[in-house]
Structure 1
Amino acid sequence: MSTDDSSAFDRYREDVDRPLARLFREYGVPRWRLLSLGLVANVIAQAASLVPPVVLGAAIDSLFRGEEAYSLLFVPQAWIPATPEAQFWFSVALIAVSFLATALFTWIYGVVGNEFAHGVMYAVRSDSFEKLLALDMAFFDDKQTGEVMAILNNDASNLERFLDDALMNSLRLVVMVGGIAAVLFGLHRQLAAVTLVAVPLMVGFTWWFMRAIAPRYRRRQESVAAFNTRIENGVSGVELAKTTASEPHEIERVDDAAHDLYRKIMSVLRLSYLYRPGMELLAGVSFAVTFLVGGYWLLTDTAPLFLTGELRVGTFVTFVFMSQRIVAPLAEVSDIVDQTQNAKASAERVFGLSDIPTHVDDRDDAVELTDADGRVEYDDVTFAYDSALTADGDEETVIDGVSVDAAPGETVALVGPTGAGKSTLVKLLVRLYDVTDGAVRVDGRDVREYSLASLRRQVGYVSQDTFLFDGTIAENVRYGRFDAEYDAVVEAAKAAEAHEFIQSLPDGYDTEVGERGVKLSGGQRQRIALARVFLQDPAMLVLDEATSAVDTETERRIQSALDRLAADRTTFTVAHRLSTVTGADTIAVLEDGRVVERGTHEELIQENGRYARLWRAQVGDTGTVETGSGN
């Protein structure tokens, strides 16, 4: 996947306004107590850490040098003891309490801050996955798995790091710089102006850095998504790569994606590595100028340059300590900016996913479909992929004016070449997509009037691409009917001709199938999927190449079971092998999204049209004509 390609997701992501403000509004506000406690604890911890240098400076000037009366900035004189000895122990107590408070409140804001940040990360992941499952199938037709995984993993983690580290460090920076500035100006306004002379330069440098690095972070996140997609594709297609000796090609593609990611990461790091030393240099300048000016002032007992008045040793010591303390938080601005810009790009992607509209959804007045009779009508149905959900922004018509009816208990077979629209047509019944024009009706009511859950519970769907979740065979058979008894699972497996092979496995129904069912053969996976439908016991069936992955003997046995299951159920079957649909009540031949022939097997053979030619090709000696699976 090229990172230059545009999709619906990309367009919605670009429209996200003030993503970090939205993050706090939607996820921070519900957790405001934790956030507030963490912020207050952080302020107290940082303020407490500024106390020792102030106390030390006052003690030097009053207790050790006796140059002035003992006083402390921001402390009422009435609170201070009268005698030097008492003042000394008061100083010791203040320093001890300040260190204790710093440690205690640092621990509090660390615990509370992590609770807040990880709570947000949990909610983002949960909400994103819930949104993901609610999205229309058109989104998944266009989107790559790796990009979706990047949102749930990398982007959610970036937001957690921002809330845990950048937010608290930003507050610490504000408190430290503000607190130090207040202390310095309170002690000596003129020297404070000298010490803080580099701060405006730091602000300007930071502003430039944030503007320069923002687009680089976005490009890096896009490259991460592209790399994840390439890895996911390479792992999923490892069998094809091996059987076609294409490992070098896959290695080259992953190498290209990895190199692109490497270049995007280095683009960010080069700027970051420029910023941090620059900030440390400017902060160091503040310290050096303070030491130079203050030291010269004390050494010569003369105010340098435009400065006036006097400077005491204790005050100078406090300034030296404070100017040194300001270096670390200012130097960390690069990390804060890094995490903030990273989080901004990630929040855009999270909310870009959240903002994608869903068209296939329950209406406010949706009704429940229960005890369905199974009468299905496709009434002049047209379907085109929504241009808003396709990568190229163009509508693509797949079904064009199709009308097909099925009475309760009847079987309708759909045949035709690849791309004719067969699979798409049956997906409209379960509302994996919604029609563009016309209507699909069940028991006389438009399927869009039913709730999605109740409609889909009445339709058993087996696709040509059998999917099993990582877990046991019994868990996969129960999927959709999680409370089914063990005996019911066994009966369903027997009906699907799966019981015999399941019993032959080491752990029987408790056998782990592996990710996507890789420990089972294609035919075994298909029979597990069929057992799932038997257990569901629906009023209607959709069989999209349901026996495509089994051998001839197994197909015969499954087909017999399916015939029994479909005897009193409405069934739509998409067929590749025409021999499996000769008993259908209606066979509809599709080409280019239109029904070009319909009738029973005998009627279509007599018409000697497209179906008859396909039939002769499959049963004759001239080779097999592809009738297609897929669309």
Structure 2
Amino acid sequence: MSDIDWKRPLEEVLAQDATARRQLAEHAQLLPIAGAGATLTFMLGKLREHWGAALVTGLVTIGGAAAAAILPRLIGAAVDVVAGGGGTTADAWRLGAQILGVGLVQAVLAAAGWSMVSALGQRILAGMREDVIDRALDLPAQTMERTGIGDALSRVADDVDVAARAVNNLVPSLIQMGFYVVVTMIGMATLSPWLLILVVTVVPLYAIATVWYLRRTAPLYRRERIAMGARAQGLLSAIHGIPTVHAYGIERRETRHVAVLSETASVLNMRVMYLVGRLVGLINIPENLALLLVLVLGFVMVHVAGAPIGVVTAAGIYLISLFWPMMAVIFNLDEVQSAVASVSRMVGVISSIDPAASPGDERPSDSSIRLEEVSHAYRTDEDGVERTVLHPMGLDIAPGEVISLVGASGAGKSTLAAILAGTLVPRHGRVLHGGVDLAHADIEAIRAHASIVSQDVHVFRGTLREDLRLASPRSTDEELWAALRRVDAEVWAQRLPLGLDTEVGEKGERLTAEQSQQLALARVALREPAVLVLDEATADEGSSGARVLERAALEIARGRTTIIVAHRLSQAMVADRILVMADGRVVEQGTHDQLVARGAVYARLWEAWSG
């Protein structure tokens, strides 16, 4: 890091790698980030939810600050007793006992307040983390594919970690110091009207320095968090694609992407540190001025106004005791800014993405599907220009009918399949399952009614039994083995070291792509949906593996309304109806024999495929 030039324009840093520059630009436009006002409103709402704990915490913290503010007055009174000679030894002992007692109370209340603030903050943060994950899981698959998992991961990992450290170490200290500063200033003002001169002169200077610092660092912290999210996405992409990276020898290229994004984050952080250095110089002005004023005012108060020397002593203690809290509050602003930037990213997801909720209570009556003037488009740039991927179409699918979608890449097959499955909401038109408009359907009923198996399936970490029971938690072992048998997976499952108790997924038994697809199909067999969508679920297997998966898919599809996005035309042959797509439109439809006999688009595809 020592050789990084923090004054170097970020444009020059990013110019080193076009991919890193694009990733950073895209990352800034991914999941939403809440503004300062929205973040404050959200956090106040969270405090209202925990109003009892917040009230008790506030009272304990204020009590600790008040006790700390009483001490200078007691010390000043003790000075008057000793210096003035008007008191007795008993008076001195009494004041000493009071100072000791108030000091103990202040220490106990400060420790309790610290613990209570930290506990309350962690409780709120834990709920926010769950909300972020919940909202991220509610995002449509297409949105998550576009944004990438890195941004969501950085918000539930990096951002939560930054906020958690602040809650444990920073927030309790800042809250206690903030109350102490306010209570101490009130104590100074009530101690003597002369001290108001000190308050109204010094406090605005601290405020000016703070505003100067915050205005310059807030944008830097926000950009730093964006760069860190982009870096996380770059790391994940490289790690997930290790076989491809090694195969094409692009290790240096991937390393350069991450290095440039890391340098960007470092440059931004160094600029913040430079501003911290300048802030130190600014803070010296009100500190030195305060020391000068307390000496001048003390002289005037004692020799002109005739104030007791104890009052001046208390004023001096008040002032000296303010220096550290004020400095701590200001010097921790960099961590505060970082934590606020992280929290605003979390709040952006929570407040801007609606949780999945049932739009209605209607439930499908059968497995028919109907599309009414359905179309869809994706935004392609920041100006809101849209690219139509599915033109208006109507479609009726009878219960139990098997439909196959064929066409060139980009024809709109996967988009149509996702709309038919109910996982993608079309921009226009209506989708009806069993006569029920999905816009007014019970969401859990629809999820149980239709399932989709895509080309990329995920094997969850855990035992094979737990992975299968994701689809049907109450299934017995006999039912699990029956489902594996239906998809020709029983043999390899029995060969696993511990059978159903074998750990699979990350750090577990490595399953092949074919076995992972069979596992996904076995889940469908356990769930028993009325509608099944197979989105090129067997596309990447070799000939033998493809035949096994095709047999398994046909077995699971039996008796269900099935939509197959066909990669091989052998899959299309078994369909009751084939829809040939091109440029987001259905250009032909019919059975395999009818379309071959017609001699048009499908016939040419069949001739080329069959060789």
* Residue 172 of structure 2 is aligned to residue 151 of structure 1: no
Query: Matches of residues 350-365 of structure 1 in structure 2 within 5 Å?
Result: 350-356=346-352, 362-364=358-360
Quote the offset at 1:545 in angstroms.
Answer: 1.5
Superposition TM-score, scaled by structure 2 size: 0.88
Match of 2:38 in 1: 19
Superposition TM-score, scaled by structure 1 size: 0.85
Quote the offset at 1:112 in angstroms.
Answer: 1.0
Q: Distance in 2 between matches of 1:198 and 1:448?
A: 61
* Residue 298 of structure 2 is aligned to residue 279 of structure 1: no
Quote the offset at 1:575 in angstroms.
Answer: 1.1
Taking a change above 3 Å as real, the CA distance of residues 221 and 558 of structure 1, as seen in their structure-2 partners, is closer
Query: Matches of residues 22-41 of structure 1 in structure 2 within 5 Å?
Result: 22-41=41-60
Match of 2:467 in 1: 476
Query: Matches of residues 340-489 of structure 1 in structure 2 within 5 Å?
Result: 340-356=336-352, 362-364=358-360, 366-369=361-364, 373-385=366-378, 387=379, 393-489=384-480
Taking a change above 3 Å as real, the CA distance of residues 480 and 561 of structure 1, as seen in their structure-2 partners, is closer
Gapped regions of structure 2 (runs ≥ 5): 1-21
The SS at the match of 2:459 is coil
Q: Distance in 1 between matches of 2:303 and 2:257?
A: 66
The SS at the match of 1:326 is helix
CA offsets per residue over residues 441-467 of structure 1, 9 Å max, x none? Answer: 333333434222212212232111111
Name whichever of 425-434 and 561-570 sits farther off.
561-570
Pick aligned residue for 1:227 from 231, 239, 249: 231
Taking a change above 3 Å as real, the CA distance of residues 608 and 232 of structure 1, as seen in their structure-2 partners, is same
- Contact preservation (8 Å) 2:461, 2:505: yes
Greater Rg over alpha carbons, structure: 1
Quote the offset at 1:49 in angstroms.
Answer: 2.3
Q: Distance in 2 between matches of 1:609 and 1:360?
A: 44
Quote the offset at 1:578 in angstroms.
Answer: 1.1
Quote the offset at 1:256 in angstroms.
Answer: 0.2
Match of 2:105 in 1: 101
CA offsets per residue over residues 414-438 of structure 1, 9 Å max, x none? Answer: 1111011111111112221123344
Gapped regions of structure 1 (runs ≥ 5): 71-83, 298-302, 621-631
Query: Matches of residues 214-293 of structure 1 in structure 2 within 5 Å?
Result: 214-276=218-280, 278-279=282-283, 282-287=286-291, 290=294
CA offsets per residue over residues 292-318 of structure 1, 9 Å max, x none? Answer: 775xx5xxxxx59x9723465544443
Q: Distance in 1 between matches of 2:187 and 2:436?
A: 76
- Contact preservation (8 Å) 2:202, 2:286: yes
- Contact preservation (8 Å) 1:380, 1:401: yes
Query: Matches of residues 332-343 of structure 1 in structure 2 within 5 Å?
Result: 332-343=328-339
Q: Distance in 2 between matches of 1:201 and 1:459?
A: 64
Q: Distance in 1 between matches of 2:30 and 2:551?
A: 45
CA offsets per residue over residues 388-413 of structure 1, 9 Å max, x none? Answer: x9755222211223444332222111
RMSD: 3.0
* Residue 522 of structure 2 is aligned to residue 504 of structure 1: no
Match of 2:16 in 1: none
Quote the offset at 1:167 in angstroms.
Answer: 5.2
Match of 1:78 in 2: none
Taking a change above 3 Å as real, the CA distance of residues 47 and 284 of structure 1, as seen in their structure-2 partners, is farther
Match of 2:217 in 1: 213
Match of 1:74 in 2: none
* Residue 83 of structure 2 is aligned to residue 65 of structure 1: yes
* Residue 25 of structure 2 is aligned to residue 4 of structure 1: yes
The SS at the match of 1:332 is helix
Instruction: State, as a whole percentage, how many aligned pairs show the same letter.
Output: 27
The AA in structure 2 aligned to 1:519 is R
Match of 2:74 in 1: 55
Quote the offset at 1:494 in angstroms.
Answer: 1.1
The SS at the match of 2:462 is coil
Q: Distance in 1 between matches of 2:396 and 2:186?
A: 82
Taking a change above 3 Å as real, the CA distance of residues 512 and 268 of structure 1, as seen in their structure-2 partners, is same
Taking a change above 3 Å as real, the CA distance of residues 336 and 244 of structure 1, as seen in their structure-2 partners, is same
Match of 1:560 in 2: 551
Query: Matches of residues 57-206 of structure 1 in structure 2 within 5 Å?
Result: 57-62=76-81, 64-67=82-85, 69-70=86-87, 84-160=88-164, 168-187=172-191, 189-190=193-194, 193=197, 197-206=201-210
- Contact preservation (8 Å) 1:6, 1:391: no
Q: Distance in 1 between matches of 2:274 and 2:236?
A: 29
- Contact preservation (8 Å) 2:117, 2:171: no
- Contact preservation (8 Å) 1:195, 1:323: no
Match of 2:322 in 1: 326
Q: Distance in 1 between matches of 2:27 and 2:256?
A: 24
CA offsets per residue over residues 475-524 of structure 1, 9 Å max, x none? Answer: 22222322221211111111111111112122222222233988221111
Q: Distance in 2 between matches of 1:405 and 1:286?
A: 81
- Contact preservation (8 Å) 1:417, 1:591: yes
- Contact preservation (8 Å) 2:422, 2:450: no
Taking a change above 3 Å as real, the CA distance of residues 380 and 169 of structure 1, as seen in their structure-2 partners, is same
Pick aligned residue for 1:600 from 582, 586, 591: 591
The SS at the match of 2:180 is helix
The AA in structure 2 aligned to 1:559 is E
CA offsets per residue over residues 84-123 of structure 1, 9 Å max, x none? Answer: 2331221122122112101211121112101110111011
CA offsets per residue over residues 526-582 of structure 1, 9 Å max, x none? Answer: 111111111112222211122224343343334334333333222111111112332
Taking a change above 3 Å as real, the CA distance of residues 138 and 92 of structure 1, as seen in their structure-2 partners, is same
Q: Distance in 2 between matches of 1:348 and 1:181?
A: 32
How many pairs does the alignment contain? 590
Q: Distance in 2 between matches of 1:588 and 1:165?
A: 61
The SS at the match of 2:457 is coil
